Structure 1
């Protein structure tokens, strides 16, 4: 297992990588599209696994959905792609250590938001074409979840967004410490299960959920409602990653030795 200073170094290197990689806009957008698609695949997996259970009023349906949703972050990290929510921890660490500039970090985050959204929409359109959510318990569960997301009060969305990204960023931080691939997968899967089962809000997962609701014509799921959800959850996720994960580790971990200028690949 990596020491805490070495783990912080890895996050600094990840921030530098995001700065350098995002200068090639086209390639970086594709990497971000992949991340949106990977989370979208996990979102669909969650609905198909938990939907039939929810239809039978089985109380542990959310737990089942949470256990399978971990596939998304595992794909993001192991296959390689650029996910905006983990960047909300990595980029602020880079800013604090002055390894990247504020404009560079904002550029990378902006490209990730765009790419993640495009990847989510692509998955939603593919699922619409497949017909697997046109009717039945899976469709009903997707409709129920997407409707709930557009009607939740703004305050609830914001605080659920904070809690969600605390878990996502802890998953990324902890898997960085682990040196065994199985351990990495387990910690990521458990953290994802915790946020899904608890009902927290992840902006990229919501991009797919709300896109599914829109393309399937779910009642009361509107573009305006979806936009409100995504903006508020994005802000909550940003606070969760920067204030509740990056800041405590910056304050508690001893200043590491100088991090390398770049890494071969992004942390997540």
Structure 2
């Protein structure tokens, strides 16, 4: 039932690992693009969120959630290397023995660093663009970042598990439908779920925090707060995709177990 989707993920892992093996630098650039593409989602989220936040609009979460989906849409359709997506893809390929766990950890590390670099560069571009030139301590970017940087480690960890479970469901379901409109709908609706429910996504936070820090931050929005958030969120994101999607669907759709079951049925017939 799920073997075709697992095979698609394994084929993606082969392609991604091939790029990494042939040129780590080119792979790093692809990962930087993903960080920047997600940054586009952060840019739009802050741009539409600020006036809604100042007006105390009840539509704030819904509108910002819908707007942030552009980031993952760009990652998947334009093509780039997203760390949180690779948590799904390379856990699947490692369990399938298509790639080794060593290869998996290397790709995770390079994609994470590339995403961070891309988010930082994009945040600097936003600063010099002057889009948020008047951003102060009460700007939506600051209040949102403060909330994320002051949540407890336990809250961040479990929010991160749920976040990448939902985000990677957008990737998983995109492999199970053929219609482009359906693919985009799934991306935007699932990203909206993640944003509206106030979950934590490490790569999203790279640019959300990066833009806020580039504009001066606050007493709470600091590099220390960035690191405090990112550690439990990164670990939670790995578990969300690696266990709740990759491992569970691998277990359900394990070909060897299916073949053994078929053999037993044939013998008993």
Equivalences for 1:41-56 in 2 at 5 Å? 41-56=40-55
CA distance in 2, matches of 1:145, 1:164: 16
Higher deviation after alignment, 135-144 or 220-229 = 135-144
Which residue of structure 2 aligns with residue 239 of structure 1?
A: 239
**Pair 1:172-2:171 in alignment:** yes
Matches within 5 A, 1:115-134: 115-134=114-133
Separation in 2 of the partners of 1:164 and 1:95?
22
Structure number with higher relative contact order (C-alpha < 8 Å, ≥ 6 residues apart): 1
Matches within 5 A, 1:93-172: 93-135=92-134, 140-172=139-171
- CA 1:139–1:125 in structure 2 vs 1: closer, same or farther (change >3 Å)? farther
* Cα 1:62/1:138, change in 2 over 3 Å: farther
The farther-off stretch of 195-204 and 19-28 is: 19-28
Aligned to 1:225: 225
List gaps (5 residues or longer) in structure 2: 257-269
Q: Which moved more, 1:132-141 or 1:80-89?
A: 132-141
Query: Counterpart of 1:62?
Result: 61
Is the 1:47–1:141 contact (alpha carbons within 8 Å) kept by the matching residues of 2? yes
Shift in CA distance, 46/139, structure 1 to aligned 2, threshold 3 Å: farther
| Contact 2:135 2:215 survives alignment (8 Å) | no
Between the two proteins, the alignment pairs up a number of residues equal to 254
Question: How big is the shift at 1:114?
Answer: 0.7
**2:69–2:192 CA contact under 8 A, matched in 1:** yes
> Whole-Å Cα distance in 2 between the matches of residues 182 and 137 of structure 1?
39
Distance 1:147 1:138 in 2: 10
What secondary structure is seen at the aligned counterpart in 1 of 2:128? helix
TM (norm. structure 1) is 0.91
- Structure 1 gap segments, 5+ residues each: 257-268
Task: Give CA-to-partner distance per residue, 1:18-41, whole Å, 9 cap, x none.
Answer: 221111111100100000000001
Tell me the TM-score normalised to structure 2 length. 0.91
The answer (yes or no) to whether the contact 2:137–2:217 under 8 Å persists in 1 is no
1:216 maps to 215
**1:74 corresponds to which residue?**
73
The CA RMSD measured in Å over matched residues stands at: 1.5
Alignment partner, residue 260 of structure 1: none
Tell me which structure has the larger Cα radius of gyration: 2
